[in-house]
């Protein structure tokens, strides 16, 4: 577009201008927009060799026009916001792409080049770009073409409807972002729905463009990896008039045994396809719609609902935009632009009120047509333009505009000397380079008035979330599209499908979900035999060979004589076997000893040896040791969901409570010794009984939070393992998250090592202050047991995995109990004459 007049010239001029349908508003900064305001176009000669002509677009798209008006509303709302871009007035240039790649591409180039006929550049050839960013395009194909060019100059482009997974490649499209999830997630959501309803046999229809072909590739790969089912057929829908190809495709659908049809296509593709479906009267199909047509009102007609009723669709997240309806009601056609090709408003007015502005086409008035006055009342006409109850693409447009605005606002709030660019510099509006705004757009993070968080990942993709829609065919013939669930992705839970099956309308006589399988499961006495040249979902059932039988259940194995089936043996750590009985006895014995020691300490709580060793922490420690012994019982017996979830949580929290008490005891020993020295009295002031309790509670709360996060994100669960033995089922608990289990053990290990190090440092203190020697020895036992536990746990198969963990719990618990409380009980029970303040203090003095 722009060329230098001479090598040393300081100005450049446009070679020519495209005459495009558009809407414009001036401002300090201009945002561009590309929207589908018309369905079809007629191309003139678009080269620069002849006088440029107007591109004739026809077939007015009311919803596309509403999307453009939503961008105008968002910019108007931002300009009225004193907190967002307070000193900058935003303007816009919005162009109609007429659903044509050539038109959309030329519109994008017009945006980035500007419309001024001549530019005078300063010495550094920089300034405010003609547009700061582009909102659009709605098509993946057009977005690929446009972003490939504007991406060379790092002009940010935020699409509201382009879903092709190929656009996530930041090497090819470095300045492309979008407020709609990628097709990679949409494909995954479709497969989850197939799995939910056990639909193992489906047909796939895709549009003949980047959107459809990339979706087809992703769907085939992901479906094969998931093992959910197979594709009965894959057909590419043609563009334009091609009745013979459509007839062939519908004939394939009619003959297929697949009752589920998935369509990644556009409204125009589906309109042509459904005409042929009606012509051949192909009913009894369960349609699944991609987001491109899941909410298409043009398909929700009484004549199509016998075929499309009950459709399940993946739809863009619905949102609410306060104030939009009032803004739409205020629009009026500009009297000065009635004859201008730029005035889309005039075309909207004529389409809505079925009138023509003067001068009307020849014969319009004679045929009974009315003239528009521009004063017609929008509220008195029935139009989907004002129906804002189901804002989906519009909500994405709204978020895209605000993303650009917040990125610009963050850039302008940069403090000099603290910027992200070379030399900690900031960008300025007067010398802005597009790549600088891309940097801020990558980091943008805000929440809409509807409560949705908006941010982009490293690929420029938005938070993946879709609504699941269902086309309800009402008895009176009306159609209603209702939300019956959602599918979303989060860091903790991964992909999650939520469906309210009671709300779903099924367009079948049974009013139940259809069955869609290539072959039914083989009955007993037969086995599967793959059909040659068919997918693995298709097989024949043939009789078993002589002397062999089949059974649906995997819980059976052949008898030693191989003449009949017998139930497989089951294996788990049981209360009834010798190993389980020994471990249970040891666990209960440990708990009883803890209770006995606690009783002894409570009874002798006023004696010097109990009081000298922090009696309150000793009581807490004994209670926690008792819980450690008892939690080992959860590892014995057939695994259930609640025991699997509770066993590691109880084990982790009990041991942290125990080690926390020991750690605080050690710190108290150091604090008491320091307080005995001149000037050291303040050390106990900051570590009194209240602080001791608080420390134990805080350290234990951290472990409780770790267990909660583990149970919520990837909870342990019972599992039937048949990999160890062919003739045996091993019941075990899978940990769910190896990371969660490792963090739980790691936190216990960290506290134990810290306690050991502090106790080791205090081991040589005078005896009258010193319990550190006992703590050092007990922690040494504790750490040795758990270091030996890890390799033993990993290498032990089946029930012995649980036995190893129970043994580690019991060994470490007995070690702590004996090392910490054995010497004290010896003095209390067998040497009471040494349990006096004089003896204890005197012994300490002599040793000193």
pLDDT tens digits for range 83-108: 999 989 999 999 998 888 888 998 99
Average pLDDT over residues 555-563: 57
CATH 3.40.50.2300 in the chain is located at 11-180+322-331+378-414, 183-317+463-503
The answer to whether the CB of 505 falls within 8 A of the CB of 470 is yes
pLDDT tens digits for range 605-618: 888 877 766 678 88
DSSP 319: B
Gap between the Cα atoms of 419 and 73, Å rounded? 32
Nearest to 284 by CA among 253, 313, 241: 253
- Per-residue confidence at 665, pLDDT binned at 50, 70, 90? confident
pLDDT tens digits for range 342-360: 567 888 888 888 888 878 8
Print burial letters for 372-399: b (CB count within 10 Å at least 16), e (below 16): beeeeebeeeeeebbebebbbbbbbbbb
Q: What is the pLDDT of residue 50?
A: 45
Q: What is the pLDDT of residue 121?
A: 52
CA dihedral 648, 651, 657, 660 (to 10 degrees): -90
- Per-residue confidence at 119, pLDDT binned at 50, 70, 90? low
Gap between the Cα atoms of 361 and 350, Å rounded? 12
Of 3.40.1020.10, 3.10.310.10, 3.60.20.10, 3.40.50.2300, which CATH number belongs to 183-317+463-503?
3.40.50.2300
Higher pLDDT, 695 or 20: 695
Query: Which of 401-410, 478-487, 535-544, 551-560 holds the top average pLDDT?
Result: 401-410
Strands, E assignment, 556-617: 556-558, 565-567, 569-571
**Lateral strand order in the sheet of 201-207:** 230-237, 201-207, 260-264, 286-289, 312-316, 465-473, 479-490, 494-499
Gap between the Cα atoms of 526 and 513, Å rounded? 28
Q: What is the pLDDT of residue 764?
A: 65
pLDDT tens digits for range 642-659: 888 888 889 899 999 999
Gap between the Cα atoms of 662 and 820, Å rounded? 10
List beta partners, residue 382. Answer: none
Helices first, then strands: H and E counts in the chain: 22, 30
- Does domain 11-180+322-331+378-414 fall under CATH 3.40.50.2300? My reply is yes
From 459-473, 627-641, 754-768, the region with the lowest mean pLDDT: 754-768
- For residue 5, pLDDT beyond 50: no
Q: Which sign, positive or negative, has the C-alpha torsion 762, 766, 771, 776?
A: positive
Element (H, E) at 782: helix 772-795
Q: What is the pLDDT of residue 399?
A: 96
Element (H, E) at 586: helix 578-603
Q: Domain 578-841 adopts which CATH fold?
A: Rhopdopsin 7-helix transmembrane proteins (1.20.1070)
Q: What is the pLDDT of residue 262?
A: 96
The structure tokens listed for 127 are 């300034």
Q: What is the pLDDT of residue 845?
A: 40
Average pLDDT, the chain: 83
CA angle 187, 188, 189 (to 5 degrees): 90
pLDDT tens digits for range 266-296: 988 999 999 999 999 999 999 999 988 998 8
List beta partners, residue 95. Answer: 22, 34
At residue 686, what are phi and psi to the nearest 5 degrees?
-95, 5
Higher pLDDT, 837 or 308: 308
- For residue 235, pLDDT beyond 90: yes
From 63-72, 229-238, 815-824, the region with the lowest mean pLDDT: 815-824
Q: What is the pLDDT of residue 844?
A: 43
Q: Report CA-CA distances (Å) from 480 to 311, 671, 677, 820.
A: 11, 73, 82, 72
How far apart are the two ends of the chain, measured CA to CA in Å? 94
Q: Which sign, positive or negative, has the C-alpha torsion 755, 759, 762, 765?
A: positive
| Cis amide bond preceding 147, omega within 30 | no
Average pLDDT over residues 444-449: 91
Look-up: residue for tokens 């004679």? 366
- For residue 382, pLDDT beyond 60: yes
Q: What is the pLDDT of residue 72?
A: 95
Residues 6+ apart with CB under 8 A from 617: 661, 664, 665, 668, 692, 696
List beta partners, residue 91. Answer: 30
SS3 category, 720: strand
Bridge-based pairing state of the strands 479-490 and 494-499 = antiparallel
Q: What is the pLDDT of residue 115?
A: 67
- Per-residue confidence at 145, pLDDT binned at 50, 70, 90? very high
- Per-residue confidence at 389, pLDDT binned at 50, 70, 90? confident
Helix intervals (H) in 46-178:
62-79, 101-113, 140-150
Gap between the Cα atoms of 384 and 297, Å rounded? 9
Average pLDDT over residues 14-38: 84
pTM: 0.61
- For residue 240, pLDDT beyond 90: no
Residues 6+ apart with CB under 8 A from 517: 198, 199, 200, 201, 537
The answer to whether the CB of 758 falls within 8 A of the CB of 667 is yes
Q: What is the pLDDT of residue 669?
A: 75
Gap between the Cα atoms of 507 and 673, Å rounded? 81
Gap between the Cα atoms of 399 and 393, Å rounded? 10
Q: What is the pLDDT of residue 523?
A: 78
Bridge-based pairing state of the strands 201-207 and 260-264 = parallel
């Amino acid at each position: 577009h722009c060329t230098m007049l001479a090598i040393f010239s300081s100005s450049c001029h446009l070679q020519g201008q495209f005459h495009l349908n558009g809407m414009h508003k001036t401002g300090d900064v201009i945002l561009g927009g590309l929207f589908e305001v018309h369905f079809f176009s007629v191309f003139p000669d678009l080269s620069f060799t002849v006088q440029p002509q107007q591109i004739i677009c026809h077939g007015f798209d009311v919803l596309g026009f509403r999307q453009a008006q939503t961008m105008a509303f968002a910019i108007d709302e931002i300009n009225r916001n004193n907190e967002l871009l307070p000193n900058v007035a935003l303007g816009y240039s919005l162009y109609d792409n007429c659903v044509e790649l050539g038109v959309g591409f030329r519109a994008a180039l017009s945006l980035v080049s500007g419309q001024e006929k001549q530019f005078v550049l300063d010495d550094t050839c920089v300034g405010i770009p003609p547009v700061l960013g582009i909102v659009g395009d709605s098509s993946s194909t057009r977005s690929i073409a446009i972003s490939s060019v504007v991406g060379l100059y790092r002009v940010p482009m935020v699409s509201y409807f382009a879903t092709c997974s190929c656009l996530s490649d930041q090497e090819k499209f470095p300045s492309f972002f979008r407020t709609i999830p990628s097709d990679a997630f949409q494909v995954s959501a479709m497969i989850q729905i197939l799995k939910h309803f056990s639909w193992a046999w489906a047909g796939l229809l895709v549009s003949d463009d980047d959107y459809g072909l990339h979706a087809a590739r992703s769907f085939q790969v992901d479906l094969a990896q998931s093992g959910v089912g197979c594709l009965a057929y894959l057909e590419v829908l043609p563009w334009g008039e091609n009745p013979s190809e459509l007839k062939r495709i519908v004939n394939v659908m009619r003959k297929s045994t697949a009752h589920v049809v998935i369509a990644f296509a556009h409204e125009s593709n589906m309109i042509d396809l459904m005409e042929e479906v009606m012509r051949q009267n192909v009913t009894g199909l369960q349609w699944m719609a991609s987001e491109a047509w899941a909410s298409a009102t043009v398909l929700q007609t009484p004549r199509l609902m016998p075929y499309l009723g009950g459709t399940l669709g993946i739809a863009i997240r619905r949102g609410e935009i306060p104030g939009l309806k009032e803004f739409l009601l205020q629009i009026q056609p500009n009297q000065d632009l009635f004859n201008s090709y730029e005035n889309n408003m005039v075309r909207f007015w004529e389409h809505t009120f079925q009138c023509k502005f003067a001068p009307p086409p020849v014969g319009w008035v004679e045929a009974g047509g009315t003239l528009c006055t521009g004063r017609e009342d929008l509220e008195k006409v029935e139009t989907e333009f004002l129906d804002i109850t189901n804002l989906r693409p519009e909500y994405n447009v709204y978020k895209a505009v605000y993303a650009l605005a917040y990125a610009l606002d963050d850039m302008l709030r940069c403090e000099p000397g603290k910027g992200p660019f070379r030399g900690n510099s900031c960008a300025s509006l007067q010398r802005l380079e597009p790549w600088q705004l891309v940097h801020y757009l990558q980091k943008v993070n805000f929440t809409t008035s509807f409560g949705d968080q908006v941010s982009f990942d490293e690929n420029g993709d938005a938070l993946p979330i879709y609504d699941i829609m269902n086309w309800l065919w009402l008895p009176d013939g009306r159609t209603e599209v209702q939300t019956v669930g959602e599918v979303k992705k989060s860091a903790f839970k991964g992909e999650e499908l939520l469906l309210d099956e009671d709300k779903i309308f099924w367009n079948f006589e049974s009013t139940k979900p259809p069955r869609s399988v290539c072959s039914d499961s083989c009955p007993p006495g037969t086995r599967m035999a793959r059909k040659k040249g068919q997918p693995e979902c298709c097989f024949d059932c043939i009789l078993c060979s002589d002397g062999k039988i089949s059974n649906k259940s995997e819980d059976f194995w052949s008898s030693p004589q191989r003449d009949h089936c017998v139930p497989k043996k089951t294996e788990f750590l049981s209360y009834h076997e010798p190993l389980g009985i020994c471990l249970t006895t040891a666990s209960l014995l440990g708990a009883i000893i803890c209770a006995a020691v606690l009783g002894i300490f409570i009874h002798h709580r006023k004696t010097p040896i109990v009081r000298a060793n922090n009696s309150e922490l000793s009581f807490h420690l004994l209670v926690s040791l008792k819980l450690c012994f008892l939690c080992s019982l959860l590892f014995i017996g057939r695994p259930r969901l609640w025991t699997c979830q509770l066993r590691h949580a109880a084990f982790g929290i009990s041991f942290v409570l125990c080690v926390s008490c020991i750690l605080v005891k050690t710190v108290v020993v150091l604090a008491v010794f320091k307080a005995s020295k001149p000037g050291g009295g303040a050390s106990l002031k900051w570590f009194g009984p209240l602080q001791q309790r608080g420390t134990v509670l805080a350290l234990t709360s951290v472990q409780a939070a770790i267990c909660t996060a583990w149970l919520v994100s990837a909870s342990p669960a019972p599992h039937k393992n048949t990999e160890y033995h062919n003739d045996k089922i091993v019941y075990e608990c899978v940990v769910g998250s190896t990371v969660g289990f490792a963090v739980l053990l790691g936190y216990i290990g960290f506290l134990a090592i810290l306690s050991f190090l502090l106790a080791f440092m205090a081991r040589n203190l005078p005896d009258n202050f010193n319990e550190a020697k006992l703590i050092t020895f007990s922690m040494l036992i504790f750490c040795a047991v758990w270091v030996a536990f890890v390799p033993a746990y990993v290498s032990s198969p089946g029930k012995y995995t649980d036995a190893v963990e129970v043994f580690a719990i019991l060994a470490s618990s007995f070690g702590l109990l004996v090392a910490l409380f054995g010497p004290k009980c010896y003095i209390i029970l067998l040497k009471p004459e040494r349990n006096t303040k004089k003896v204890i203090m005197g012994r300490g003095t002599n040793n000193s």
